[in-house]
Amino acid sequence: MTSFTFRKASSSDLDGVLSVQAVVFPAFQEAKATFAERLRLYPDGFFVVEEGGDIKGYLVSYPVRRPEPPPLDTLIGAISPDCDAYYVHDLSLLPAMRGRGAAVAMIEAMTGVARNAGFTAMVLTAVGGADIFWRRFGFATVSVPALEARLLAYGADAVYMERSF
């Protein structure tokens, strides 16, 4: 089996990122402009997995102010100067890339970025039952009534999670 590499994303990767999202999250497609904005605002937190010259997965992450993960497919304009947590916006791998260590590799790299930036908390919205996966990395579900309506946009099983590190 060919081995994969992972690295920081560049703007020329965005079409590949969109094609992965179309397969993994067809119901939650975001615009290219949304990904491009996150890449521009926080390039250190945007990783891609590449194999055979193709993008086969990605991780998008950046600082936020709790408890405000931005709504789906929304431009945020800027990274607020008073961010108090590090947000995992999206982690997606094509099915053929799963179970091969790519997710762990990107999560470890992202955690290093967050630590180096001085953060001690990480937050995310887990969808489709993925909270089981995130618990392995120390994330726990947190109930935030103010976020309930926003979570519903991700499906009835979406949960908000936090991790201290």
Residues that bind ligand COA (CB under 6 A): 24, 91-93, 98-99, 102-104, 126-130, 132-133
Which of 77/95 has CB closer to ligand COA?
A: 95
Which of 66/100 has CB closer to ligand COA?
A: 100
C-alpha dihedral (5, 8, 13, 18), degrees to nearest 10? 90
CB of 150 to ligand COA, least distance (A): 14
CB of 42 to ligand COA, least distance (A): 18
CB of 134 to ligand COA, least distance (A): 7
Write b or e for each residue in 118-152: b if 16 or more Cβ atoms lie within 10 A of its Cβ, otherwise e.
Answer: ebeebbbbbbeebbeebeebebeeeeeeebeebbe
Which of 102/147 has CB closer to ligand COA?
A: 102
CB of 51 to ligand COA, least distance (A): 13
- Report how far residue 63's alpha carbon sits from residue 71's, in angstroms, rounded to the nearest whole number: 15
SS3 for 126?
strand
